[in-house]
Amino acid sequence: MNRHDEDGDQPAENGSFFRGLIRYEQQLPVRQIAYYLCGEIREPQYYTELFYTLRTAAETDLVYLHLNSEGGDFNTGLQIINNVLASPARVVTVLEARAYSMAALIFLCGDELVVHDNCQLMFHIYSGIFSGKGNEQQAEVLAIANWFEKVMTRICSPFLSTAEIGSILKGSDVWMDSDEIRRRLQRLKRASAKAARRKKATLAPRED
């Protein structure tokens, strides 16, 4: 039988006394910051405060992006996405009505995706105006087409299937409502959890 001291402590093998597991707690401030991306996405200079906030946020910060937008400037959208992905904060994208075109891609880049009832996403190919000599226009069209395909694949897969992305690149529009969005997000969540379990099982030590 093991000997205990007067306080009920149990001696370790080296004769010292173990006085129980002690909890060490640290409380960190949590900031919650909200931005509302409503209406058309305009030129990048209108969003510099958002960019700065995302870049300088702390790991304990929560940044909410509430979306109700028909899309807009492609370059601005990409800058928003790149800042979201680079932000130390946890970014929550909230679909509150509609997110079309570039706004749909921004929605998919959140660390957490929240979908309200009666909402819509819509994905479609880019549009633009080209100028210059014919050979310059052809080169620009080809470069943008390749660029856009990479962007769509990196951001939208696997939320969109390969076939859906292919149809968008050929000019089709892909629409979905809140119910369909939630079904897809749940499917991705289950697939992620399954992959995590497989990885854990693979890394678990084996007994000889």
The predicted model gives 46-62 an average pLDDT of 96
Kindly report the number of other CB atoms within 10 A of residue 67's CB atom: 24
CATH number for 28-124+173-187 (one of 1.10.1740.10, 3.90.226.10, 3.40.50.300, 1.10.630.10): it is 3.90.226.10
Angle at the Cα of 63 from the Cα atoms of 61 and 69, rounded to 5 degrees: 175
The residues spanned by each domain of the chain are 28-124+173-187
Tens digit of pLDDT for each residue in 6-23? 445 555 556 666 667 788
Least confident of 4-8, 48-52, 87-91, 204-208: 4-8
Residue 203: pLDDT above 80? Answer: no
Give me the mean pLDDT over the 193-202 stretch.
79
pLDDT of residue 18: 60
Contact 105, 155 (CB under 8 A): yes
Q: Cα(107)–Cα(69) distance, rounded to whole angstroms?
A: 10
Sign of CA pseudo-dihedral 159, 163, 165, 167: negative
Q: Are 100 and 69 in contact (CB under 8 A)?
A: yes
Element (H, E) at 103: helix 102-108
- The β-bridge relationship of strands 90-100 and 112-115 is parallel
Task: Evaluate if residue 5 carries a pLDDT over 60.
Answer: no
Q: What is the pLDDT of residue 205?
A: 66
pLDDT tens, residue by residue, 136-161: 778 877 888 899 999 999 999 999 99
